[in-house]
Amino acid sequence: MTLGIVVYTMDNLDVSQAIKQSIVFDRISLVPNLFAVDANPQTYDQVLRECEFYFEKSYTNGVLPGTATTIGQRTYPLRISYVNGFLYLGSFGLVFNSVKRAAPKLNFYSPDGTADNLLAQALLNGADVAGSPVNEATTHWTETGKSIRSVYMLCNASDFSVVNANGAAGNEGVLNYQYTADARLGV
């Protein structure tokens, strides 16, 4: 694919002057046509969906991937065994905000900013139990069924206990993470 840009000016630019002249672009339209066509106005959501066709992240706008933040994080429940009181990793699914151009490359981050990790957390009545939370490497999961709409992360360490959750009533386990889904051309 080739992109050609034509700039029309009303007057000649004089580069010999002491004060250099310049061109300021007010609007840019990438509408394929034989002559310049003004772009239709779009809402913020329309532009965001077009961009998410290639790339999306769980982080809020203006926050770079790998930043330590819980804002925008995804949470998935984990199993706690009441037989031995341990929290176990599990499989989970991720549905993208928008359909992608192609099956994307996924990157996961723990909410503390650690790359290639997810945060397993055992809670007792809303408070962390001793030894929790724990960063778990993404190598405990395998991407299966990845498509332009979603991915299923199959846990290949399902008998892997993360932390002793004491097996008490009111216990819950969660997996917290941030992600990026990159389906840009050439990536």
- Whole-angstrom distance, CA of residue 66 vs CA of residue 164: 28
| Rounded CA separation 110/72 (Å) | 12
pLDDT at residue 82, rounded to an integer: 64
Give residue 8's pLDDT: 73
- pLDDT at position 185: 82
pLDDT of residue 24: 76
User: Which position has the token pair 């990438």?
Assistant: 30
- Tell whether the torsion through CA atoms of 70, 71, 72 and 75 is positive or negative: positive
Consecutive 10-residue averages of pLDDT for the chain (187 residues) = 70 73 73 70 86 93 94 89 75 94 96 94 80 88 94 84 66 91 85
In sequence order, what DSSP letters do the residues of 51-71 get, joined into one string? HHTTEEESSPTT--TT----T
Q: Which DSSP string do the residues of the chain spell out, in sequence order?
A: ---------SS---TTSSS------S-------SS--PPPP--HHHHHHHHHTTEEESSPTT--TT----TT-EEEEEEE-TTT-EEE---EEEE-SS--SSSPEEEEE-TTS-BTEEEEEEEETTEEPTT--EEEEGGGEEEES--SSEEEEEES-TT-EEEE-TT-TTEEEEEEEEEEEE--TT-
